[in-house]
Amino acid sequence: MKKLAIVVSHPIQYYSPWFNYLSNTAGLAVKVFYLWDFGVTKRIDSGFQQEIQWDIPLLSGYDYEFVPNISSRPGTDHFWGLQNPSLSSQIKKFHPEAVLLMIYNYASIYRLLWSGSQDLPPLLFRGDSHRLLISHNIKALLKREFITQIYRRFAACLYVGKANYNYFRYHRVAEEKLFFSPHAVDNHRFLAQTDVVNQQAQAWKQELGIPADHAVILFAGKLEEKKRPLDLLQAFLSINIPQVSLLFVGAGPLEAELKTAAAGKSHIYFAPFQNQTFMPRTYAAADLFVLPSYGSGETWGLAINEAMCLSRPVIVSNHVGCSQDLVHNYENGLVFPAGDVSALAHSLKEALANRQRLQKWGENSRNIVANYTYAQATQGLIQALEYTKLRLM
C-alpha cells in the first residue's frame, strides 16, 4: 500500500470523512498530521464568537497524530497560529511515499517548504483559493509572483473546481500538474436522513413560530461581514412577497446588528448555532438556501453542497467559489453579482415566482451534487500520485 502523509491545520468536519474513505477504500496507508486540536476540544471560534466542539466523530476510521504546536496563540486566523517545529521529523518517521498539504500560509508550512522538504518525498497540494475578485495593483502582482514560487515546490496540485483551477493557472502551475479533486461533503450522511429530517424540520419550524404555509429562505453559517447576511435581509425586506419567511441560523459579530435591523419586521426569524448533527434538519427547513458572500474569503461554500444533498435550490453570489460548478442558472438556482442587493432581491423574486419550478430546481440540485463525492475527490488524488510516481522513474 502506498503510504500517504496528509498535513491539515486541525480536524475539520468536511475532511475527516474523506480521510476515513481514503484509509478504507482507496488502497492507501494514510496518516494525518494535525497542527492544532480545534474541533475535538472546546475552543472559541472567532467567526461564531462562542465555544465550539463538533458533535460528530472527527478522528475515527484513519490513523492520525497531533504535532505539538508552540504558538502562544494557536489558531488558523493568523500566520503564527501554527508553529510546529517537529512537523518534518514526525512526517519522516512515517516514511511516506508522498505528502499532501491541505494548507500552506502558516509558519510551520513555510518552514517545511523551505528547510525541511529536501529529504521528503514528493509534495502535493490541495487548495481552494480563487480570483473571482480581481485586482491588478502592484501589491497583487507581487503576491502573484510570491505564490507562484510556492507552488513550484509541489510536484502536483489538486483543484476543487473551475475557479480554483483558474487560480492555479494564474500562478503558472502547469496544466499537466493539475488534477481535479472536487470539494465534497459526506453526502451519505445527508441523503440517508431525508425522510426523518423533513419531519423534524416541520416540527422545528413550528417551534420557531414560522407559519406552516410559508416558504422559507434560509441563511445558515457565521453571521460575519464576508458572508453578507445584511444584504440578504435588505433584499428580503424589499421584495415583500406574501407567505415567505426569512430564517437566519448561526451566530457571529453581525448578530446584534441583524436583529436590530429586523426588529419590528414581519416573518424574520433567528435560530442559534446548530451543531453538525442538526444541520440536515436545518437545510430541510428551507425552501431556498442563499449564500450572498462578497470577496475572496468564500473559497468554495461547502454549505451549498450540504443544502443540495437535501434537494434544496440555491442562490449564491458570483464571489462564492462553487458558483461556476454547482449552481446552474434556472436549473437548480441562480447566481447574482456579489454586493448587489437589488440583484439579490430580483433573484429571490424570480426563484419564488414559481413554487413548482423551485421544487424541480431542488431535485436538480441533488442530481448535480451526486457527482461531488469523496470517490471523485479520491480519483484525482490517485491520478496525482501516479503522475508523481512516473516523474520519479
**Domain CATH number, residue 230:** 3.40.50.2000
Cα of 195 vs its chain's centroid, Å: 25
pLDDT band of residue 391 (cuts 50, 70, 90) is low
Is 60 exceeded by the pLDDT of residue 392? no
Q: Which residue type occupies 194?
A: T
| Residue 350 sits in the same domain as residue 365 | yes
Report pLDDT digits (tens) over 222-244.
Answer: 999 999 999 999 999 999 899 99
Residues 150 and 365: their CA atoms lie apart, in Å, by: 36
- pTM recorded for the entire structure: 0.94
| Residue 379 sits in the same domain as residue 313 | no
| Residue 211 sits in the same domain as residue 328 | yes
| Residue 161 sits in the same domain as residue 248 | no
Least reliable range by pLDDT among 55-64, 108-117, 308-317 = 108-117
Q: Which residue type occupies 94?
A: F
Q: What is the percentage of the chain residues whose pLDDT exceeds 90?
A: 87
Residues 201 and 271: their CA atoms lie apart, in Å, by: 13
Residues 246 and 236: their CA atoms lie apart, in Å, by: 7
- Average pLDDT for 382-388: 96
Q: Which residue type occupies 71?
A: S
Is 70 exceeded by the pLDDT of residue 116? no
What's the order of all strands across the beta sheet hosting 215-222?
Answer: 268-271, 244-251, 215-222, 288-291, 314-317, 333-336
- Average pLDDT for 4-31: 95
Report pLDDT digits (tens) over 87-106.
Answer: 999 999 999 999 999 999 99
Average pLDDT, the chain: 94
Phi, psi of 45 (to 5 degrees): -95, 120
Between 174 and 41, whose confidence is greater? 174
Q: Are 279 and 300 in contact (CB under 8 A)?
A: no
Q: What is the percentage of the chain residues whose pLDDT exceeds 70?
A: 98
| Residue 69 sits in the same domain as residue 206 | no
Q: Are 64 and 34 in contact (CB under 8 A)?
A: yes
| Residue 276 sits in the same domain as residue 312 | yes
| Residue 326 sits in the same domain as residue 377 | no
pLDDT band of residue 389 (cuts 50, 70, 90) is confident
Range of the structural domain that residue 35 is part of = 2-186+372-392
Residues 263 and 133: their CA atoms lie apart, in Å, by: 33
Least reliable range by pLDDT among 49-63, 186-200, 252-266, 278-292 = 49-63
Is 50 exceeded by the pLDDT of residue 132? yes
Report the pLDDT value the prediction gives residue 117, as an integer from 0 to 100: 62
| Residue 299 sits in the same domain as residue 179 | no
Give the residue among 123, 120, 124 at the shortest CA–CA distance from 89.
Answer: 120
| Residue 62 sits in the same domain as residue 127 | yes
Residues 200 and 177: their CA atoms lie apart, in Å, by: 46
**Block residue for cell numbers 487548495:** 127
How many domains does the structure of the chain reveal? 2
| Residue 196 sits in the same domain as residue 164 | no
Three-state secondary structure call for residue 160: coil
Is 60 exceeded by the pLDDT of residue 64? yes
| Residue 151 sits in the same domain as residue 222 | no
Report the pLDDT value the prediction gives residue 393, as an integer from 0 to 100: 43
| Residue 359 sits in the same domain as residue 380 | no
Torsion on CA atoms 140, 152, 123, 321, rounded to nearest 10: 30
DSSP 69-129: ---SS-SSSSGGG---TTHHHHHHHH--SEEEES--SSHHHHHIIIII-TTS--EEEEE--
